[in-house]
Chain A
Amino acid sequence: MAEWPAGAPHPLLLIAELTYRCPLHCPYCSNPTDIGAAKYSNELPAEDWKRVFRESADLGVLQLALTGGEPMARKEIVDLTQTATDAGLYSTLVTSALPFPKRRVEALHAAGLDHVQISFQHSDPTLADEIGGTIAFDRKVKAAALARELDFPLTVNCVLHRRNIDAVDSIIDMAVELGARRLELANTQYHGWATVNRDALMPTRAQLEAGEEAVKAARERLGASLEILWVLPDYYEELPKPCMGGWAQDAVLVQPNGDVLPCQAAASIPGIAIDNVRDKSLREIWLESDMFNAFRGTEWMQEPCRSCPLGRQHEDHGGCRCQALALTGDAAATDPVCQFSPHHDTIVAARREADEPEPAEPAPFVYRDLIPS
């Protein structure tokens, strides 16, 4: 194989979105809002996925997220997992646990699946099902028990927002009862469906602070027995996050149809060609495609990033490109989360709005759905 270009990063993580079919309808789903579009129903055949897995390992990928949509909706999931194992990838099944049939999960275990992550929407069954838009809670609890029975390390993931963040304590208790080793409390990031539902999802500052306190106390109480990840919503920060570890630095994402992107939302950026693994190798796309090179490094940066007063260009990579686009209309602008962004007022205004008293009728959710666009 040709020599690796000097200084080019090696990806660590492959996010394999095997399908956008999903039994849940979470209003904060990070999938694109046009998941019902015809282009996504042309799902990549298993043989192509297998090649992509092998190619990703050759590029340096260590971690594979089998996700979606609901990855269990792909009937070849066991076979795909076996290929990942053979390629040396550490595989995580990111699942709603609908479905999670015993025989299939045993087969996944035999195929070398390393880790299971199950989403929960709330610790209260009724509220959980209301948020997910389907009857799911009891089946998730059973699935978690099965995962533990088969000795999978279990992560419980709960996306937080204003309708469940007050329950952080009870969500932590639930994770302990389920036998989880990790709990991801991921405050909603406003991409995909979450952008549509931002007013209904964004917590108040007081809610966030209380949630953070609950996490701190639980960490002290539980020690190493449960690792609790608390991902701050960057709308409440003054400096941006290094989105995905920096554009095209650590992660590569393949959509159900084989389109390759640096992150979940990158297809929202207009005017950049998107390559597909049916036409090119993952290596060629990673190293040479317009999409991956568009914001790699620091050359593309504008002010105030270019002369960042904190010298954070290599630390936060200018923040999130998709958020910059959504809030300023320019994907190359500084992420408005940054206090130095001339558009930072849009973030401050959203916070102020979230802090206003709750209206009698809370904003309704727009549920994720595969409505053809």
Chain B
Amino acid sequence: MAFSRPKLATGVRLHRDKVRDQDVLLFPEGALVLNETALEVLGLVDGERTLDDIATVLSERYEGADVKDDVSELLDGIGERGLVVEADG
């Protein structure tokens, strides 16, 4: 399933881990280390932007590349763990 308007689930937040020089997603009793792409996508997930909005912003950053499928797939993966949910749902 693809998100239409994704948001971070309650109790999930981004965190800059200065000690290990990495970005992580923190959630109840866990942490997920984010690569650059995941960080960029999740940085745009705010419950306001739609999946299309997010893909458009990133596409502009990367010279018009079609990124929608990649963004959708990434969010689905994180969504399977209950960390991203549908804002409209």
Interface residue ranges, A against B (CB under 8 Å): 10, 12, 58-60, 62-63, 88, 90, 92, 114-115, 117, 151-153, 155, 181-182, 224-225, 227
Contact = CB atoms under 8 A, between A and B. Distances in A.
A224 B26 contact: no
Contact of A10 (B15, B19, B26): B19
Contacts of B27: 90, 153
8 contacts: A90-B15, A114-B26, A115-B11, A115-B29, A152-B11, A153-B10, A181-B10, A182-B29
Interface residues on B, range: 20 to 34
B87 interface: no
Contacts of B10: 151-153, 181
A227 B26 contact: no
A114 B11 contact: yes
B33 to A, nearest CB: 11
**Overall SS of chain B's interface:** loop
Interface of B: 9-13, 15, 17, 19-20, 24, 26-31, 79-82
Contacts of B80: 224
Given A63-B26, A92-B29, A10 B11 contact: no
**Overall SS of chain A's interface:** mixed
A224 B20 contact: no
Nearest to B31: A62
Contact of B15 (A58, A62, A115, A182): A62
A88 B79 contact: no
Given A115-B28, A153-B28, A60 B15 contact: no
B17 A227 contact: no
B24 A62 contact: yes
A193 B54 CA distance: 52
B28 A88 contact: no
A253 to B, nearest CB: 15
Contact of B79 (A59, A92, A224): A224
Nearest to B79: A224
A151 B11 CA distance: 9
Contacts of A182: 28-29
A155 B30 CA distance: 13
Contacts of A88: 15
A59 B11 contact: no
A362 B32 CA distance: 44
Nearest to A94: B29
Contacts of A224: 79-82
A60 B19 contact: yes
A181 B30 CA distance: 14
Contacts of A63: 26, 29-31
Max chain B C-beta neighbours (<10 A), residue from A58, A151, A181: A181
A62 B17 contact: yes
A339 B31 CA distance: 32
B11 A153 contact: yes
B21 to A, nearest CB: 11
Nearest to B83: A224
Nearest to B28: A115
